[in-house]
Structure 1
């Protein structure tokens, strides 16, 4: 598990990289692979029945005996088409063809009369852009020119409108509803939609509040021909039957334009996600019809704003990173894949049902790649640090098992933590005499055999050897998770060591040892400089445990413990020794004698009476009781200590601040 600062750094790193990605050209991938993925997952959809295309194509030219070039057709044919469509009840007619030049006067006049009679025809106008460059060839401005239909037609028609499809490297995916360079005039889809009945153009209502020069993303229905299409000659044939014509055209928006299924003959065609592998693109008139159909059923694609989209990407990177901060790598990878699957399903569902175009390339490919890379890198670094910690811990005397338990509590050896713990300080009695009688190497061997018996018992009870200085060992039992468990473990280890070191059975390597136990807060972790570090327990309870251990010398005991270090309801293994103010302390501390030999803890009633008299300041009575105890139990070191102290106080007096606590002057 990472430290908190490392977690913040990883989150900040993922957010920073995501921010750079979100502001980079990589976002343009959403208009290429991203939108193609969404269309592929959604599939084709059914267009509204209110829009129909009449295609000017090679098939119609052949069937009608007209030139292949559409611009050479007589406009009398268009007049017949317009009259027939208007008579059949077509609600709006659009020509995605630019009639900029005069041709046959008779045909032109007939077409103009038909436009005027219908009153619902919108003709296309073109917009060209001229760049203005400086002397260095850099573009500094641009001028947009409108190319209008022949005035004869423009004045007769209901209106004229452009239809501009901004091109990108990935093809087209949006159009202008209004074009600033064309005087913010509405585009042809919008102009046609306004001619339809109010109840048939729900999507137009949503655009009324939209700013001018606004772009809308096309929501394609499918490949070329997905929107109902009649070839020009077929439309004329249908018009020959008034009943059939009314059934086919009444109330609909009819758009006439170039739509050629033959790839080699395609002229006005654009690459889209539905462009086929055979090179057949979608015609401009079909895209115009798509835009109109989107307006009618309000299905044009909505995209989150740039700020909202970027904020979503940043939040997504944090969500993915959390898995790598909280889980093991394998589970984090599984959680990441699960999250990606959920996002993909949500994005596809939103695209299909809510017409919401969410980013997919960045959140499903690039950002996960960044997060997984950071997560695996951090995991590798964590493994390296853990290995280094393990090596250092083993150098300091911790076994692998003890290290793993300690790491689980501390969350990193170099970090350390302030924890509640039971501290046990031990000291070999007469170690100086032993070392004086032996060579340094022999002394080391004796100490190693001693520690081989000592350390395993500490670790087996859930403790850790935090420090070894000469013959003194400082051990700790962490109590944050289970204070009672720590106290029980410390007691069990201490009594086992007491039986081993101080009992009647002298095992090989055993040396007489005194123990002192205390409970409180301690900092456990690495201490030292950059060149040398050791795992240490640091805090007041460490010093207090050492002074408790030293007090054994005064009483001739082997184990003393403060009240906080004892398990509850363990009076059968502890004898109250009194209250003492240890060297360097201000507050008194209740100490208890412990022993693996129950006989050593037998306390005569006379001792308790004598201790009560001692605390109350009646030292003469205390002397009397203590003498009686020692007459029957001369080996009672605590009683002997109180007897000597009581006799001294009989002579000197206790003073006005006496509260029964004994002040110890030695460490």
Structure 2
């Protein structure tokens, strides 16, 4: 495995894991939650939750103090009686009735609470430090402050409402408070009473998880009625029934005037001018979440960590696979897609997924590391390309080879298809020309030869006199490289062997093709080095090319070439010629003639039958081969086998074996 991509992936995962385990993760409950609420917008609250606010407007209308805690309790008694009469299903007070007031007003409120039978009162919780022997605080204890016993006994129940504070405000509440004996909270008690006897009844069994609040919108999004207006509504049977029957009614302090706000909390819906959500609005939100089942769900810490790491790994692998421009575009698109998916999950499924780390930081992190990898790879590639140019390859033909050699200064083993070519009768041709004319002839020849090889994805690795060695690199599957090499050989055959007689660039040429492992690297000494491809496959391709001469063919390929392209023997342009032991080789090879056009079917069948009778029935083989020549008078392989049969019938001592033909000349 390439260590550099693995190192990039490891660095990306370790960095992201460190961020997930650091305070940076708190961005999710700050900027991340703000982003999700912004993308989702305001959502409609359930109609069964109503808030009655003790506000400054009601204070003026009722002639009361602007400090609601000083209002006489007979007003609350009047409100409770009216709400009960108008069919409110449950009534909650987000007001702590801790101390006794005027006796008659306290008794009036207690009587109203008892008659209603569905009122839940607020309890307070204070945290006190426990000092050690040295006076330093060593622990904390939460102490509960209950309502006035007269009122507590008259109410259906009482409970606190606690929201853990964070630097980004409040985002959760306790359904059951573990620090005071898993005591149910005010909204939990109201929800239990509201749903009692229904299929959706909320269990009283303690569940001490902190529950994320799923806010509905800014202050006033929940159905909010000023206290003075509520008294007017309960006085009207029709209007009161419409406003409160079957509802959960929560009474508490709330103010839309920022300068008069008290009991307020910062949330994602806090406004720029400082208008926060009131405690009673948040208590109503918690109650509404319990009733409509829309409380936010959040994956566990481990699940989030694994998901974000997997996402980061995918983004990093993208940078290892794609080009820079594509990787940048896909990273941005995938980051945006994560944010969109998280926003949809938040709004449609009430599922709170991390958004800042995977949607923004992960693409930036993988992008920064990926760009560094790409820049280093480009620098290595340029150095290797310069080296390839120094070693004699053209820029067009050497870029892929140089890339393959990146990080392998001494070269490397690769899989490839080799094509070896040789001009027929070149020796006698060069004898008839002076050196300058020979050079000009070869230059014209290679001006046709080299572009064809490169157009089919090949690389001309070596030219020695009239012979060229070409290479097609195999990336994953050999079929494509084999098809390209065969197509190049057929096009060169057409342009060099079937060209008009007056074409001075065309010289009759033979080709041999083979595939397998080769070593690609620079060869030579310190003073002279050239980029070359070496190995047994190269030598074998040269021997296959040499077999064209005795067989009377122009293009020969090994069985490996034909098998790689998925062709059955004899199919299309690949004609099986038999098994051969080539000069200087110990392994036998099945050779195929690559033809631009197949020979007639009848002739091909006669040829195959004759090959099978070469040893067992040479006389019959001679007759069949002679008949093939009537179909194809110039067919080289038929003439080769016919001569072999004639020699065998004449009693000549041939080097052939029972299972192969031996060619002992190069």
Q: Say whether 1:538 aligns with 2:534.
A: yes
Describe the shift of the 1:514–1:87 C-alpha distance in structure 2 as closer, same or farther (beyond 3 A). Answer: closer
Q: Say whether 1:396 aligns with 2:397.
A: no
Give the 5 Å matches for 1:574-589: 580-587=581-588
Q: Say whether 1:237 aligns with 2:232.
A: yes
CA drift of 1:654 comes to 6.7
CA distance in 2, matches of 1:552, 1:241: 111
1:99 corresponds to which of 75, 97, 120: 97
| Partner in structure 2 of residue 424 of structure 1 | 420
CA drift of 1:270 comes to 0.5
CA distance in 2, matches of 1:525, 1:284: 75
CA distance in 1, matches of 2:547, 2:204: 90
| Partner in structure 1 of residue 485 of structure 2 | 486
TM-score normalised by the chain length of structure 2: 0.75
| Partner in structure 2 of residue 259 of structure 1 | 254
Q: Is the 8 A contact 1:617 1:660 kept in 2?
A: no
| Partner in structure 2 of residue 122 of structure 1 | 120
| Partner in structure 1 of residue 459 of structure 2 | 464
Helix, strand or coil at the partner of 1:481 = helix
Q: Is the 8 A contact 2:385 2:402 kept in 1?
A: no
1:250 corresponds to which of 238, 245, 259: 245
Q: Is the 8 A contact 1:580 1:588 kept in 2?
A: yes
Describe the shift of the 1:551–1:245 C-alpha distance in structure 2 as closer, same or farther (beyond 3 A). Answer: closer
CA drift of 1:51 comes to 1.7
CA distance in 1, matches of 2:213, 2:367: 34
Q: Say whether 1:336 aligns with 2:331.
A: yes
More displaced, 322-331 or 187-196? 322-331
More displaced, 177-186 or 351-360? 351-360
CA drift of 1:355 comes to 1.9
Helix, strand or coil at the partner of 2:100 = coil
Q: Is the 8 A contact 2:381 2:403 kept in 1?
A: no
| Partner in structure 1 of residue 294 of structure 2 | 299
Helix, strand or coil at the partner of 2:193 = coil
CA drift of 1:5 comes to 6.5
Q: Say whether 1:22 aligns with 2:4.
A: no
Describe the shift of the 1:83–1:616 C-alpha distance in structure 2 as closer, same or farther (beyond 3 A). Answer: closer
Q: Is the 8 A contact 1:455 1:465 kept in 2?
A: no
CA distance in 2, matches of 1:267, 1:613: 109
| Partner in structure 1 of residue 351 of structure 2 | 356
CA drift of 1:475 comes to 2.8
More displaced, 184-193 or 110-119? 110-119
Describe the shift of the 1:457–1:128 C-alpha distance in structure 2 as closer, same or farther (beyond 3 A). Answer: same
Helix, strand or coil at the partner of 2:308 = helix
Helix, strand or coil at the partner of 2:377 = helix
CA distance in 1, matches of 2:95, 2:572: 104
Q: Is the 8 A contact 2:77 2:109 kept in 1?
A: yes
More displaced, 484-493 or 33-42? 484-493
Describe the shift of the 1:480–1:5 C-alpha distance in structure 2 as closer, same or farther (beyond 3 A). Answer: farther
Give the 5 Å matches for 1:277-296: 277-296=272-291
Q: Is the 8 A contact 2:489 2:511 kept in 1?
A: no
TM-score normalised by the chain length of structure 1: 0.75
Q: Say whether 1:83 aligns with 2:78.
A: no
CA drift of 1:231 comes to 2.3
Q: How many residues align?
A: 609
CA drift of 1:109 comes to 2.5
Q: Is the 8 A contact 2:315 2:363 kept in 1?
A: yes
Q: Is the 8 A contact 2:214 2:289 kept in 1?
A: yes
Q: CA RMSD in A?
A: 5.1
| Partner in structure 1 of residue 381 of structure 2 | 386
Describe the shift of the 1:591–1:365 C-alpha distance in structure 2 as closer, same or farther (beyond 3 A). Answer: closer
Give the 5 Å matches for 1:176-325: 176-198=174-196, 202=200, 205=202, 212-321=207-316, 323-325=318-320
CA distance in 2, matches of 1:272, 1:614: 96
CA drift of 1:225 comes to 1.7
CA drift of 1:350 comes to 2.5
- Structure 2: segments with no counterpart, 5+ residues: 596-609, 620-638
CA distance in 1, matches of 2:414, 2:386: 20
CA distance in 2, matches of 1:352, 1:336: 24
- Structure 1: segments with no counterpart, 5+ residues: 435-441, 595-608, 619-637
CA drift of 1:191 comes to 0.4
Describe the shift of the 1:87–1:424 C-alpha distance in structure 2 as closer, same or farther (beyond 3 A). Answer: same
Describe the shift of the 1:405–1:361 C-alpha distance in structure 2 as closer, same or farther (beyond 3 A). Answer: closer
Q: Is the 8 A contact 2:655 2:662 kept in 1?
A: no
More displaced, 486-495 or 585-594? 585-594
1:161 corresponds to which of 150, 156, 159: 159
CA distance in 2, matches of 1:520, 1:244: 92
Helix, strand or coil at the partner of 2:141 = strand
Q: Is the 8 A contact 1:96 1:256 kept in 2?
A: yes
2:70 corresponds to which of 65, 69, 72: 72
Q: Is the 8 A contact 1:410 1:417 kept in 2?
A: no
More displaced, 519-528 or 361-370? 519-528
CA distance in 2, matches of 1:188, 1:571: 85
CA distance in 2, matches of 1:167, 1:345: 28
